[in-house]
Amino acid sequence: MHETPLHFKTITEISEEIASKQLSPVDVTSAMLERIEELDGRLKSYATVIAEQAMAAAQEAEREINTGTYRGPLHGIPIAVKDLCFTKGVRTMGAAKVLEDHVPEFDSTVITKLKAAGSILLGKLNLTEGAMGGYNPEFDIPKNPWNPNRWTGSSSSGSGVATAAGLCIGSLGSDTGGSIRFPSAACGVVGIKPTWGRVSRYGVLALAESMDHVGPMTRSVADAAIMLEVIAGADPNDPTSLPDPVPNMLEGIGRDLQGIRVGFDEHYATNDIDTELAGAVRAGVGILADQGAEIIEVQLPDVDEYVSAWPTLCSAGAVAAHAATYPSQRDAYGPWFRGWLDMGARVTGADYARADNLRAACTGHLRRVFEGIDVLVCPSMSAPPHIVTPELLYGPKEDRPTKFQRFTVPFDYNGAPTLSVPCGMNSEGLPLSIQFVGKHLTEPLLCQVGHAYESATPWHNLHPDV
């Protein structure tokens, strides 16, 4: 077998070599920066590369490790974060022209934790404007490394592209309506949307705070577990962060699935869904059964009715999040996000109340579905990445069919944790993705299930030829 190139190795693999001093954090970081220099002019995943700071941090990591101080599996690992996360002294723009000169004076909690773990920050990753559906024409659009004419998954697109193309070893994304899961699926990587509140949002630019989640995007389930364990935990600066202790996210890695009840609603998971994707998810259910899981038929409600409330909730939340610059600097926003904010500004209190009632009803239905199961399995999105056009990317804003967010929004509504894992390639050579959904605070169980699935399949070992 061919040796995996350094840039496509996992956190787990590289950390073992760094800990044993077979590999130098300086060499790894230098190699990643050279690859970014070589390829990102075409892939456009980075908004800002901080090469000098990254090399200084790598040198410090190497000094610490050589003198016997090893902080854990992220020590010396080059990572990158979505450009929503405040980074002291580094522009944090949220892909919004109105924030082009925004340089925070402090680090977000997730950056503080990643630095404390010894990771090396390579830079900040591109995204859609305001973390919604379209890009500001003034900013770069990341290109899907599998096919540059295909969708990169919207908001956390830079995170998906950089992770898939080997321009970082792991990354952070955020998810309000699907933006960890969509780019993970579109780019063929692993993504965890944690339980809402499991990860602090302090110092992270908001889209709609009651649904915003921050989580890792990586090339293996174990890597995602490692990153999540580092960034999770209570934070006095974020009163919505959960006080529950952070468990060992790797505690179930390597176990079989005996005794785990996996729910599957074939109608929900396959009706009006891309045929090849539906087949891959069905096959995935069979693989879970082979690993010892008990497959239980469940029945979800028609969630599309409830998903239809999401634009009201999210657009109104975005108006609140952008109060400092909208409507006072309305014309500085790009057509897509400007239209989104305009829509949110028209939402009345009664509109919001009706939408919130639908959210609550959806959450109640899901609570009943999970009474007899541990994990729900379904696709991460309804189709492989679609063809993109300038109109689709820049706006004006277009309405999407509710099935587009059928597998994402319900779990932003209720804040349940999800894990997206590659589950195949379609006939056009595009990645497919399966999603595992758990009860609140069951991320270690999701990682156990995802790792068991991953270990029985080859898809996580495939990388785009860039």
Which H or E run includes 82?
strand 78-82
Q: Is 24 a catalytic residue?
A: no
Q: Which of 154, 155, 184, 433 is catalytic?
A: 155
On the 0-12 / 13-18 / 19+ scale of CB atoms within 10 A, 238 is middle
Exposure string over 159-178, b if 16+ CB within 10 A, otherwise e: bbbbbbbbbbbbbbbbbbbb
Exposure string over 202-237, b if 16+ CB within 10 A, otherwise e: bbbbbbbebbbbbbbbbbbbbbbbbbbbbbbbebee
Q: Which of 82, 97, 193, 439 is catalytic?
A: 82
Rounded distance between C-alpha atoms, residue 33 and residue 18, angstroms: 18
Task: Pick the closest to residue 129 from 150, 158, 104 (CA basis).
Answer: 158
Residue 21 region, left (φ>0) first, then alpha (ψ -120 to 50), else beta? left
Rounded distance between C-alpha atoms, residue 212 and residue 168, angstroms: 24
Q: Which of 179, 184, 420, 433 is catalytic?
A: 179
On the 0-12 / 13-18 / 19+ scale of CB atoms within 10 A, 44 is buried
Alpha carbon distances (Å) from 447 to 289, 451, 453: 16, 6, 10
Q: Is 179 a catalytic residue?
A: yes
Cα 346 to chain centroid distance, Å, stands at: 30
Residue 88 is classified by DSSP as T
Rounded distance between C-alpha atoms, residue 335 and residue 108, angstroms: 29
Alpha carbon distances (Å) from 432 to 53, 125, 386, 452: 36, 23, 12, 18
Return the bridge partners of 437, or none. Answer: 376, 418
Task: Pick the closest to residue 192 from 417, 416, 379 (CA basis).
Answer: 417
Rounded distance between C-alpha atoms, residue 465 and residue 92, angstroms: 30
**At a CB cut-off of 8 Å and minimum separation 6, what does 39 contact?**
165, 167, 466
Query: Which residue in the block uniquely carries the two structure tokens 């004419």?
Result: 149
**Residues forming the active site:** 82, 155, 179
